[in-house]
């Protein structure tokens, strides 16, 4: 509900603000920081760790990669070494994470050690998904889920979507996440969890991620410092860290995934109130 309220407030702010103009601003530089974007899931695949450096705000080039790092992920018993396939991109062999395990990432960059760990929760199974036309923009389709919430304390989720086998939520701004959509233990009977540009006849895969609270908070902060910045109605901006040691930026995300596939019917209806 809070997420929805935030959107309403942003919407009201947007009503008020209409004139914008690009301007030139002189900004200082700051020291370079190490940035790690890493994840391990319960899918059988090569899991990726991306290591880059921060840059000047108006550098306007892709983030400089960090090469030659020694990277590994361990579940306490097995240790998987990662191989640098392209500069800054490190991959595991084809492996599968197991819910219930705690995973630890370690990266040695020119002698400096960066570490992070995370617990893999089990993701509840979705019974089915359905679709409605988005109430704000008719080119968009809402994806609704039907599922039994397991009734334990885990209640942080994220959702990604594929349209005709192409991941359309490929940046964080398109991923949706929530901490309060489920009432513990009750049946979730048709709740909108994703919004994507799609047409009747398209095949949609919805991916539900069971994430840690820390990752949820991190994504909220990334969004609040980027797209959701409400300007003067918002608090002052602030820097933040993820779960990686040694003041590296970024996050090591550990989560499990459930999927459901469905075709958008021709008679998809508008959301009813």
Residue 171 lies near other proteins (rule: CB under 8 A): yes
Q: Cβ of residue 45: shortest distance to other proteins, in angstroms?
A: 17
Nearest to 141 by CA among 126, 123, 120, 163: 163
Binding region for other proteins (CB under 8 A) out of 72-80, 104-112, 248-256, 259-267: 248-256
- DSSP conformational letter for 213: H
First-residue to last-residue Cα distance in the chain:
16
Residue 16 lies near other proteins (rule: CB under 8 A): yes
Is the CB of 75 or the CB of 182 nearer to other proteins? 182
Q: Between residue 104 and residue 123, which ones bind other proteins under the rule CB under 8 A? A: none
Enumerate residues 6+ apart whose C-beta is below 8 A from 74.
80, 103, 104, 106
Which of 72-85 are b and which e, b meaning 16 or more Cβ less than 10 Å from the residue's Cβ?
bbbbeeeeeebebe
Q: Between residue 61 and residue 80, which ones bind other proteins under the rule CB under 8 A? A: 61-63
Distance CA 160, CA 140 (A): 15
Q: Cβ of residue 106: shortest distance to other proteins, in angstroms?
A: 20
Total residues interacting with other proteins, rule: CB under 8 A:
77
Is the CB of 4 or the CB of 261 nearer to other proteins? 4
Q: Cβ of residue 273: shortest distance to other proteins, in angstroms?
A: 4
Binding region for other proteins (CB under 8 A) out of 52-60, 74-82, 103-111, 258-266: 52-60
Q: Cβ of residue 237: shortest distance to other proteins, in angstroms?
A: 5
Q: Between residue 220 and residue 239, which ones bind other proteins under the rule CB under 8 A? A: 220-227, 229-239
Enumerate residues 6+ apart whose C-beta is below 8 A from 173.
223, 226, 227
Phi, psi at 226, each rounded to 5°: -125, -100
Residue 12 lies near other proteins (rule: CB under 8 A): yes
Instruction: Tally the C-alpha atoms within 13 A of residue 249's C-alpha that lie toward its C-beta.
Output: 15
Q: Between residue 189 and residue 208, which ones bind other proteins under the rule CB under 8 A? A: 189-192
Is the CB of 5 or the CB of 77 nearer to other proteins? 5
The 10 Å Cβ neighbour count of residue 145 is 25
Q: Between residue 19 and residue 38, which ones bind other proteins under the rule CB under 8 A? A: 19-25, 27-30, 33, 35, 37
Q: Cβ of residue 122: shortest distance to other proteins, in angstroms?
A: 22
Token output for 32 = 């370079």
Distance CA 95, CA 83 (A): 14
Q: Cβ of residue 8: shortest distance to other proteins, in angstroms?
A: 6
Binding region for other proteins (CB under 8 A) out of 40-48, 170-178, 206-214, 257-265: 170-178
Q: Between residue 120 and residue 149, which ones bind other proteins under the rule CB under 8 A? A: 135
Nearest to 3 by CA among 244, 212, 211, 224: 224
């Amino acid at each position: 509900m809070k997420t929805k309220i935030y959107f309403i407030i942003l919407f009201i702010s947007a009503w008020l603000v209409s004139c914008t103009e690009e301007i030139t601003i002189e900004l200082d530089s700051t020291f370079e920081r190490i940035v790690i974007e890493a994840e391990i899931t319960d899918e059988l695949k090569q899991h990726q760790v991306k290591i880059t450096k921060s840059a000047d705000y108006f550098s306007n080039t892709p983030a400089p990669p960090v090469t030659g790092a020694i990277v590994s992920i361990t579940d306490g018993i097995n240790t998987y070494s990662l191989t640098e396939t392209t500069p800054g991109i490190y991959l595991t062999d084809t492996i599968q994470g197991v819910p219930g395990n705690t995973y630890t990432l370690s990266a040695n960059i020119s002698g400096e050690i960066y570490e992070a760990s995370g617990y893999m929760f089990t993701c509840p199974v979705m019974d089915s998904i359905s679709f409605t036309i988005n109430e704000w923009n008719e080119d968009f389709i809402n994806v609704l889920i039907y599922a039994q919430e397991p009734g334990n304390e885990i209640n942080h989720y994220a959702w990604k979507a594929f349209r005709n086998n192409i991941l359309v939520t490929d940046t964080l701004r398109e991923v949706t996440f929530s901490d309060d959509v489920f009432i513990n233990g009750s049946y979730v009977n048709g709740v909108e969890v994703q919004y994507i540009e799609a047409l009747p006849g398209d095949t949609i895969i919805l991916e539900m991620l069971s994430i840690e609270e820390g990752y949820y908070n991190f994504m909220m902060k990334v969004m609040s410092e980027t797209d959701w910045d409400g300007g003067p109605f918002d608090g002052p901006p602030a820097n933040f860290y993820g779960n990686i040691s040694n003041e590296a930026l970024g996050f090591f995300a550990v989560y499990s995934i459930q999927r459901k596939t469905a075709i958008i019917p021709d008679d998809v209806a508008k959301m009813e109130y």
